[in-house]
Amino acid sequence: MLDATTRSGGTATAVPPAPVAELSLAAEFAVSTPTGLTARCTRVLLSPWSRLSLLLVLLAAAASSVLLFEPQRLLSDGWPPQLSGAAAAVVFSVAYGLCTVAFVPRPLLNLAAGALFGSQLGLGTALAGTVLGAGVAFGLGRILGQDALRPLLRARWLKAADGQLSRHGFRTMMMARLFPGVPFWAANYCAAVSRMGWLPFLLATALGSIPNTAAYAVAGARASAPTSPAFLIALGFIALPALVGAVVAWRKRHHLRGD
C-alpha cells in the first residue's frame, strides 16, 4: 500500500504538502496587506503637505466664522449682560485669542477691551488674549506648516527674515511687536516657520505688546470723551510707534533684501 510516496522504477517521490503552503501564504498576505496599506495612509496623512493643507483649511474656517459672527459688533452692541466680572474677562480673553488666529485686527479688539472693561482690566484681558492667540498661531504653524514651508525659503529677503528670527528671535519679535507695520498674524506664522523657540516668542510678544495695547485700551475706554487729555495722549502713543517703525524699516530695508 502506497502512502505519501509513489514508486516508479524503484525510486520514491515525496508529494509536497500543497494545501499547507497555500494556506501559509494566504495568511501572510492577509496580515501584511492591511498593515502596509495603513502605514502608507498614515505617511500620506502625516506628510508635510497634508498638514499644511489642514492648516489652510482651519484658517479658512476661522476666517469664515469671523465673517459670520462679526465680533466687531461688540463695539456697538456691548457685552452680553449674562456675563460680568472675572468670568467676562476670561471669556473675552479666550475670544480675543481665537479672533487673532482668525485674522481679526488687534487694534479693533484692543479698543473693544478698553470700551468694555476700562483701561486697566481692558489692558489685562487684551494682553492675555494677545499671548494666547500668538501661542495658538505659533503652535499651529510649527506643527502643521513648518516642514512644508521651510524648503520654500529661497528668496534672499525670506532667508534674511528667517535668519533674523532664528538667530535673534527675541530681539526681532520685540521690534515687530513694539513698532506696528508687520501684521500680528504674519509675525506669528513667520516665527513658527523659523527656528525660533517657544519661550522667546511668547515673552517677546507679551512684553512688546504692552505699550501699543495699553494705548488702544485707554483710547477705547475714553472714546466717549475724544477731547480729553487721556484720549489724546493715547492717540499719540498709537501714532508714534507707527512712525518710528516706518523709519526703522526704511533704514533696515537693505538687510531684508540680503544686501
Q: Give yes or no for residue 110 having a pLDDT over 90.
A: yes
Q: How much is the pLDDT for 23?
A: 47
In the beta sheet, which residues pair with residue 6? 13
Cell numbers standing for residue 153: 525659503
DSSP conformation letters of 56-111: HHHHHHHHHHHHHH-GGGHHHH-S-TT--HHHHHHHHHHHHHHHHHTT--HHHHHH
34-42 mean pLDDT: 68
Q: How much is the pLDDT for 199?
A: 94
Report the alpha-carbon angle 227-108-132, nearest 5.
130
Q: Are 199 and 135 in contact (CB under 8 A)?
A: no
182-189 mean pLDDT: 88
Cell numbers standing for residue 29: 498576505
CA nearest to 161, candidates 87, 23, 256: 256
Q: How much is the pLDDT for 138?
A: 94
Give the phi and the psi of residue 8 in degrees, each rounded to 5.
Answer: -145, 115
| 253 three-state secondary structure | helix
Task: For residue 74, name the pLDDT band (cuts at 50, 70, 90).
Answer: low
CA pair distance 52, 209, nearest whole angstrom? 28
The percentage of the chain sitting over the pLDDT mark of 90, rounded to a whole number, equals: 23
pLDDT digits (tens, 9 = 90+) for 197-230: 999 999 999 999 999 999 999 998 988 787 788 8
Q: How much is the pLDDT for 146?
A: 75
Q: Give yes or no for residue 4 having a pLDDT over 80.
A: no
Q: How much is the pLDDT for 239?
A: 79
Q: How much is the pLDDT for 214?
A: 93
Q: How much is the pLDDT for 124?
A: 94
228-242 mean pLDDT: 81
Cell numbers standing for residue 242: 507707527
Query: Global pTM?
Result: 0.72
Q: Output b/e per residue, 16-37; b: 16+ Cβ within 10 A.
A: eeeeeeeeeeeeeeeeeeeeee
Q: How much is the pLDDT for 132?
A: 96
Higher pLDDT, 53 or 170: 170
Most confident of 42-56, 159-173, 245-259: 159-173
